[in-house]
Structure formats: structure tokens, C-alpha cells
Chain A
Amino acid sequence: SQTIHQWPATLVQPVGSPLSLECTVEGTSNPNLYWYRQAAGRGLQLLFYSVGIGQISSEVPQNLSASRPQDRQFILSSKKLLLSDSGFYLCAWTMGQYPSYNSPLHFGNGTRLTVT
């Protein structure tokens, strides 16, 4: 069966410090991968999605970037964190290759990021 791992679970970082959040998926190949951010009272915001290695699409301009160095690895990064980057970050995947628009998103357990 497929599983998705996100780490760390919680993170407290000072303003201006770098960020690296990692997500890996097991048990499937060529998944579509997503990074969402959840801020209090604002629902889920899609940040990045990827349909393959090295293929990243950004939904909104921001202080963050994403990379996909391997098929089942998705990394969210920042060179210098802002206070506004605080939130709950969720990685998710859907089936790739076949039509995935009716395939549900499978979420990781998230990373709670607090920028101080």
C-alpha cells in the first residue's frame, strides 16, 4: 500500500533563516505531488505541484520554492523565512499517468512551522 511521509512534524525557525521540508511517497511510481499551506481561518492554499522529476509549477508567487530531485521526493524550501511563512504545510499525492482528477489527494500528517 502507498504511504506518505513528511518531516519534521513541528519546526520553529527565526526570521531570515533557511527552510527545508521533505516529503516522500512509498508504494507508487510517478505520482503527482503537491505542497499546500494551511493558515488559520484561510483553508488550504495550493503552493506547488509536480507531475514529474524536475517539473515544478507554482500557484502563487511567494518566498518559497519547491524541488523534486527524485520521483517520489518533494522538497519545500526557502532561503530566508518571513513571519508570514508560518503555517501548517501539507504534502499530498495523487495517481500520476492515469487521469487523476477523480483520484483523491492523499495527505501527509503535515509540518507545523512557526517563524519567530
Chain B
Amino acid sequence: AQSVTQLGSHVSVSEGALVLLRCNYSSSVPPYLFWYVQYPNQGLQLLLKYTSAATLVKGINGFEAEFKKSETSFHLTKPSAHMSDAAEYFCAVSNSEVYVGTDRGSTLGRLYFGRGTQLTVWP
């Protein structure tokens, strides 16, 4: 079974400071991991994803995340916070075990989300 734990429901940083949002996963298979960002009253937007290639993944808006198998972690970082980074961030792990249909290529990607971390950026 897959699950995600996001440590800290709220994180506050000053503009220009390092952003660190923590995510630990549990997965019985090699995981596919994602970070999403949600601005108020909007849907979720993909920041970056890890799909077993490079362990350091670069995303949009200057964010990056590092996959550490030994620590079962996929923390999100940004060297310098900007006011526009204030939003809610979700870590998610994908279930790759479900086959649907008769075509073995047909697999259903079901994402399991963490509870989210609200990032506040102070001027």
C-alpha cells in the first residue's frame, strides 16, 4: 500500500529564505512521487515528479526535490522564497499495481495525497 506523510501543516518563512517542505512516503513498490501546488480556489498544479530517473528533480518556479530511498523521503526545497510562493503544497505517491482492461499497458494511476502544507511567506 502507498501513503504519504507531510510533516508540518503550516510553514512560515521570510521572503528570500530557504523553503523546505517535508514529505515521507510508504510504498510496497518503487514509487512515483509528485509535488503539487494549489493557490486559493484553484485546482492543483504539478510542480515536479520523480519517475525513477535522476534523484534530484527540478520543477517549475525554482523548486526542486530530492528522492532519498534510504530515508523514504521526497522533500521539496527552494533556495529563496518569493511572496508568490505562498500556497498549499501537496506531496503524492502513485500506485502502479492496478492493471485494468486486457491490455497490460493499461494501468490506472491512482495518486495518494498527503494532507498538504500551507506555506506563508512574510515580507
A interface, CB within 8 angstroms of B: 6, 32, 41-44, 46, 49, 51-52, 88, 90, 92, 94, 96-110, 112
Give chain B residues whose Cβ lies under 8 Å from the Cβ of A101: 32, 94-96, 98, 107-110
CB of B71 within 8 Å of the partner chain: no
Chain A residues lying within 8 Å of B115, measured Cβ to Cβ, are: 41-43
- A-side contacts of B36, CB under 8 Å: 105, 107
**Known pairs A41-B9, A104-B34; A99 contacts B43 (CB<8 A):** no
Q: How many residues of B contact A (CB 8 A)?
A: 32
Which residues of the partner chain B approach A102 to less than 8 Å between Cβ atoms?
32, 49, 51, 94, 96, 109
> Closest CB-CB distance, A110 to chain B, in whole Å?
5
Cβ 8 A contact of A99, one of B42, B92, B107: B107
Interface centre among A105, A106, A112 (most CB of B within 10 A): A105
> Do the beta carbons of A110 and B105 come within 8 Å of each other?
no
With a CB–CB cut-off of 8 A, which chain A residues contact B105?
Answer: 97-99
Closest to B32 in A: A102
- Chain B residues lying within 8 Å of A109, measured Cβ to Cβ, are 41-43
- B residues sitting closer than 8 Å to A (CB atoms) are 9, 32, 34, 36, 41-46, 49, 51, 90, 92, 94-96, 98, 100-101, 103, 105-111, 113-116
Measured between alpha carbons, how far is A96 from B101 in the docked complex, in Å? 11
Question: B107 — which chain A residues lie within 8 A by C-beta?
Answer: 99-101
Q: Complex: how many Å from CA A6 to CA B107?
A: 25
Q: How far is the CA of A68 from the CA of B104 in the complex (A)?
A: 23
Docked CA distance A42–B32 (Å): 22
Select which of A88, A92, A96, A103 is within 8 A of B106 by beta carbon.
A96
Nearest residue (CB) in A for B107 is A99
Question: With A44-B90, A102-B51, A102-B94 in contact, do A49 and B44 touch (Cβ < 8 Å)?
Answer: no
Closest B residue by C-beta to A107:
B43
Q: In the assembled complex, how far is the CB of residue B53 from the closest CB belonging to chain A, in whole angstroms?
A: 10
Q: A90-B43, A102-B49, A108-B43 are in contact. Are A44 and B108 (CB under 8 A)?
A: no
